[in-house]
Chain A
Amino acid sequence: MTHRPKHILVPIDGSAGAEHALGVGAMLARVTGAKLTTLYVVGATSAETMGMRHMDREAIDDHLRHAAAPVLDKARAALASEEGLSATDELVRFGDPADEILGAVRRVGADHVVMGSRGQTALQGLVMGSVSEKVARMAPCPVTIVR
């Protein structure tokens, strides 16, 4: 473990904490020259997934993209104002946020995660930082948690 980050993953969900995390992630990426990938997980219990059961794969992808658009647009706009970022990418996944974040870390080979301490939903707020805690506990790489 002697590297500086080369690929930073920032899970976003439209919350203030995630917005702050994106700022910290962008700063780290700028200073280290790392690639920055944003990830939006459409929660498995989210209202946005209602009625998806009868869709085919393509329709589901469209649906997810549509559900994710406002959050991704906002993140893209925030990153556009950051100068000196070498490369950025974005991902949309569907499922349990912590599992999908951990899966994305492995899939894209991220070596650093920056995320807010609390997520968007009321339920996550009650279970204090359960997503960030699970990710920090199980991720194979360093995880930076911001308020």
Chain B
Amino acid sequence: MDRAPAHILVPVDGSDDALDAVELAGVMARALGADLTLMHVVDESVAGGAALANLDEALRQARVDELARPVLDAAWARLGALRGELVAGELVVPGDSPQDEIRKAVVERGIELLVMSHTHHAPLTELFFGSTSRALLERAPCPILLVP
């Protein structure tokens, strides 16, 4: 990487740790002149499981957005005034594996820096300390900035 990353992705999961990552990602994006994307993976098994899968596409998307809204709103709130100084967007994806969805987003969107808390949780495996960030580290799709 000879030049600064042009696009930074920060996944959020509703935890306070993830909000710390959002704040640092915002500061880095401004410092580097990079675009910023906030991403939330809506866990389908928690979000209604089979009931969600059985909804028609529009209803399903509405339900996914509804579940993601508070998580993303908290992230935007954490960015505060920084938001106005950034080219920033959001990405909501339903899925049962945050690490797979994050990896996919990195590749598809040409993400050059991933910012996340090293305690980023995977649903149902929260006993595993930072299992999502750890899994991403083992097959890193791009540089990963881990926030204490």
Contact = CB atoms under 8 A, between A and B. Distances in A.
A143 B20 CA distance: 13
B31 A1 contact: no
A28 to B, nearest CB: 8
Given A132-B137, A133-B134, A137-B118, A144 B3 contact: no
B140 A145 contact: yes
A5 B21 CA distance: 14
Contact of B137 (A20, A129, A140): A129
B1 A142 contact: no
Contact of B138 (A20, A129, A143, A146): A129
A42 interface: no
A142 B24 contact: yes
Interface string B118-148: 1000000000011000100110100111111
Interface of B: 1-4, 20, 23-24, 27-28, 31-32, 113, 118, 129-130, 134, 137-138, 140, 143-148
A82 B89 CA distance: 32
Contact of A143 (B2, B23, B27, B146): B146
A23 B4 CA distance: 11
A71 interface: no
The 8 tightest CB contacts between A and B, nearest first, are A146-B143, A136-B146, A144-B145, A4-B31, A143-B146, A145-B144, A24-B1, A31-B4
A interface bracket (residues with beta carbon within 8 Å of B) = 20 to 34
6 contacts: A2-B27, A27-B1, A28-B32, A117-B137, A142-B148, A146-B144
